Amino acid sequence: MNESRPPILRIRDLHKWYDDLHILRGLSCDLRAGEKVAIIGPSGSGKSTLLRLLMTLESPDSGEIEVDGQAMWSTTPAGRTVAAGEDVLRRIRAKLGMVFQHFHLFPHLTVLRNITAAPQIVKGIARDAAERRAGELLEMVGLADKANAYPAQLSGGQKQRVAIARALAMDPSVMLFDEVTSALDPELVGEVQDVLRQLAHQAAMTMLIVTHEMQFAREIADHVMFFDAGTIVEQGAPEQIFSAPKEDRTREFLQRVIDR
């Protein structure tokens, strides 16, 4: 990995309040292109909030976010936190893809149209080219035979695999996964994890994976961040975090979730 390149994600002193709840408390971190990062930590620690801020589904109260060297949120000399212009934000967001815990497939569209909608509408890609690409992606997630099915006809695991294909169809360089197996029946978790494993083999793809599956985090990530109370308490290689955590809070958390 080329260490001299600017990080693909650069986050500085990010703060977010929900009314009285200080959910992100000065979060800072860098991600290098191609890095596979797992974010673990108790619920309410700000893991999902970080992804939502990256996707501009919500706005930070203060702090800076840069994607691939372009400022998404920045601080003015007067100390105010401002978003980039609408056009810039859209261009930045096009580099990010997100997969949600609850899939959010479009129920009125077939599997194929779920995948081709954004490339056609947003990028203006021709229908047959979009469909060809969608076919490849469905092949990759093992659902080539479901192209003409509607989301209501699919199992949870199948829905989530379609959602991954849908995000990939926009060719993002960073994929954000927000607890993508948490809403699934236990027997369906494996098929979605398999798709993520496959994706992790692509060297260029940066992945930010919020997960409660510690085994999976350890296996797929080359860097693990432990979130607690709105900051990164500890981060490092999976071996170190899971086998020899330095911080008490990390140790306590891991004991709690792994003993379960």
| Binding region for another protein (CB under 8 A) | 55-57, 90, 93-94, 96-98, 100, 102, 104-110, 117-118, 121-122, 148-153, 163, 166-167, 170
Return the closest-CA partner of residue 16 out of 242, 231, 245.
Answer: 231
CB of 3 to another protein, least distance (A): 30
Closest separation in Å from C-beta 249 to another protein: 31
Instruction: Report the C-alpha gap between 237 and 73 in whole angstroms.
Output: 29
192 three-class SS: helix
- Least Å distance, CB 109 to another protein, is 7
Which residue, 116 or 193, has its beta carbon nearer to another protein?
116
> Closer CB to another protein, residue 57 or residue 126?
57
CA angle in degrees (0–180, nearest 5) for 36-136-162: 65
CA separation for the pair 207, 176 (Å, rounded): 6
Indicate the residue among 121 and 244 with the shorter CB distance to another protein: 121
Q: Which of 105, 108, 106, 132 minimizes the C-alpha distance to 119?
A: 132
List the strands of the sheet with 21-31, edge to edge. 21-31, 9-18, 62-67, 70-75, 81-83
Nearest by Cα to 32 from 12, 3, 55? 3
Which lies closer to another protein via its Cβ, residue 9 or residue 167? 167
Smallest gap from Cβ 70 to another protein, in A, equals 15
Nearer to another protein, 195 or 232 (CB): 195
DSSP state of 63: E
CB of 7: closest distance to another protein in angstroms? Answer: 21
